[in-house]
A and B are shown apart, each in its own frame.
Chain A
Amino acid sequence: MKTSVVSNEYQKLQEEIMKLQEQWKQNLNPDSIDFRLDSEAMKTGVPLVALTNFDVKFPLFVQWVDELKQLLMSQNADLESQLNRVIELIDEETAKVWMEEAFSFNHLYFKKFAEENVLDEWIPPFLAETLFRPYLQLLSEKTQSKISQAVAGCGCPVCGEPVRLGQLEGKGQKILYCPRCHANWPEKKLSCSHCGNEDYEKMKYLTVEGKPTEQIHVCDECKGYTKIIDTRQFITKPSPEMLDLKTIHLDYIAQENGYMVMGEIKK
């Protein structure tokens, strides 16, 4: 569901979805996630999510799908038939599979699912990801105090999402934020989030004319980039996913300049 222009409507929809997710998260039983903080494993870059069991309650799942359906239909009524079909198709088993596949980004599985059931290709992975996030966010909320670093190139220490966003805080520390699970952790200012490069000659900042709060930290070692936003200057701080969305123009700029989301990790 990638839009080339982040229209206001799209931002609104995104905000509505986030509100739903926040509600869902609040209603989740904290015991429905069972994690094992294995610091040894995590030091090698294994995300916490891989060490966690999620207890997905099927009735809750169906209820969420239905709420999401209402929201989506208020934007686009044409979706009704497809969304109804999804609700018919889903049983307890599929729900479990969906959650697992969402966590491992298994696009192939969702693609096949869509094809088999004559659904728009984006629908199954989008639903799965949206429904999975409250669990992830609960996980990161519960473990945030123990997350103080990440392994360069391995993405978010909680959910494994590639790093692409950071904020300046306090006296100017760089804190990386995961737009997917909201986990955050500090990183050295002159260090590449993707390859760990600390050679300052190969690290550059790209800035945008007239946007004093926005920087793109790029690494010429791995060609990766990270968007760094000085949200201290903001009147209200947006959530990480909104910030990510609102700075999508920086992704275009970085990519136009030959940098990539993940960088080419040479190891």
Chain B
Amino acid sequence: MAKEYIKYVDVTKCDGCRACMVACKNWNDLPAEPEEFQGSLQSHAKVTANTWNVLNFIEHENSKGDLEYLFRHSSCFHCTDAACEKVCPEDAISYTDFGSVVINNDKCVGCGYCVQNCPFDVISLATYKDKNGKEYRKAQKCTMCTDRLEEGMQPACVVTCHPGAMQFGNKEDMLTLAEKRLSEIKEKFPNANIYNPAGVGGTHTIYVLAEKPSVYGLPEKPKVPTSAVIWKDYAQPIGKLMLGATTMAVMAGFVSNKLFNKGGHDHGQDEEGGDSDE
């Protein structure tokens, strides 16, 4: 039985070397996107379909008025309740036993529903060309290196992290580690917190943050969009039922007309109605 794992990111130990970005590109054979590397520091760097993790660099003025430089390794959170999985119309997104959320490329039709519904904005569409030059799209994001997990290996980014800002292991162990680290740094960073949002059932990439989530460009209280819940848990099933019910009614109507009304159309009723009114 596979175990549920967590990737634990301690942003206070990150030195911004970006080795994780390189390791991810290498392992996943992703093409370089030169524009991503322009300028040495970016505060609004965002993951893309070909760059599954990105190092966010944040200039932050702390409570004492000093400028601080914060780093955050950003990638898919592998939500326990993943909005992307919920809204995918093709069942192309699924959970693994490890807790990671993965996209089945063969099933993905590139509709982009997931892109619009991910509370963290970390899933994107890549455009490819088939051999006839026709364009098609596929959703792409961090896989937590599920192919490595299957081989008993840790994710590529974690393995290359020299300052030990990332660790990978059993869910409980990592949660304990995060708690421990939080208590260590609480004095130095009074706003420090563990980012493992309950609105998506907890995540499999968790952070110890030195400042409030919003400082790192993270939603304070992310959740599976309510619209997505109504859509997928109520509207769609009811819609399908209704479609079935209407069809049944029509069939019943058709059949009973055949039964009661053998002669085909019958104007008599209406005319009688008209007559009786006169």
Interfacial residues, chain A to chain B (CB-CB below 8 A): 212-213, 232-236
Contact = CB atoms under 8 A, between A and B. Distances in A.
Interface string B187-210: 000000000000000000000000
Contacts of B152: 234-236
B80 to A, nearest CB: 19
A236 B169 CA distance: 8
Interface residues of B, number: 9
Contacts of B153: 212-213, 233-235
B57 interface: no
Contacts of B5: 235
A43 to B, nearest CB: 36
B49 interface: no
Leading 9 A-B pairs by shortest Cβ distance: A233-B159, A233-B153, A235-B154, A233-B154, A234-B152, A235-B152, A234-B153, A213-B153, A235-B168
Interface of B: 5, 148-149, 152-154, 159, 168-169
Contacts of A234: 152-154
B183 to A, nearest CB: 26
Contacts of B159: 232-233
Contacts of B148: 233
Contacts of B168: 235
Contacts of A213: 153
Contacts of B149: 235
Nearest to B159: A233
Contacts of A235: 5, 149, 152-154, 168-169
A235 B8 CA distance: 13
A211 to B, nearest CB: 8
A215 to B, nearest CB: 15
A115 B123 CA distance: 67
